[in-house]
Structure 1
Amino acid sequence: MPLLDTKHPFFRPAWRRYALVAVSFIWAGVELSYGSQIWAYLCAAIGGFLAWKLIVTWTDPDGS
């Protein structure tokens, strides 16, 4: 079972994929502004993973 099922219909609209990536990086900035470096790094790592899976290597499951 993959960590993130990119074939799920929820991820089909591009705006949702970009929003998830943006929210994780924005939250990393919020955590950094409050001085929580560990949580900021964790959120940024999640954002990087989401960006890689949902934007860089995204393939449409239906091929359209």
Structure 2
Amino acid sequence: MKLFDLQQEVYRPLWLRVAITVACLGWAAVEFASGAPFWGVLFAAIGAYAGHQFFIAFDPKAPDERDGKE
């Protein structure tokens, strides 16, 4: 079990994946604008990780289909 498993069934809707990624990157912009570069980098990294997991590595199949089970 991974600490941050972004391949779960709950993240299947596209609007949710977009909202999470945009919220993280948007908050990073707020932190950079307010002069807090540590938090800006942290949230930018979280947003980049979420973007990668949701749009590049995401497998929209159900978990049982991914494992080869029926």
- Determine the C-alpha separation between the residues in 2 that align with 1:22 and 1:31: 14
Listed as ranges, the gaps of 5+ residues in structure 2 are: 66-70
Question: In the alignment, is the contact (CA less than 8 A) between 1:7 and 1:61 conserved in 2?
Answer: no
Regions of 4+ moved over 4 Å: none
Deviations 1:35-56 (A, max 9, x none): 0000000000000110111111
Question: In the alignment, is the contact (CA less than 8 A) between 2:7 and 2:53 conserved in 1?
Answer: no
Provide the residue aligned with 1:29 in structure 2: 29
Listed as ranges, the gaps of 5+ residues in structure 1 are: none
Aligned length: 63
Percent identity for Structure 1 against Structure 2: 30
Provide the residue aligned with 2:46 in structure 1: 46
RMSD: 1.4
TM-score (norm 1): 0.86
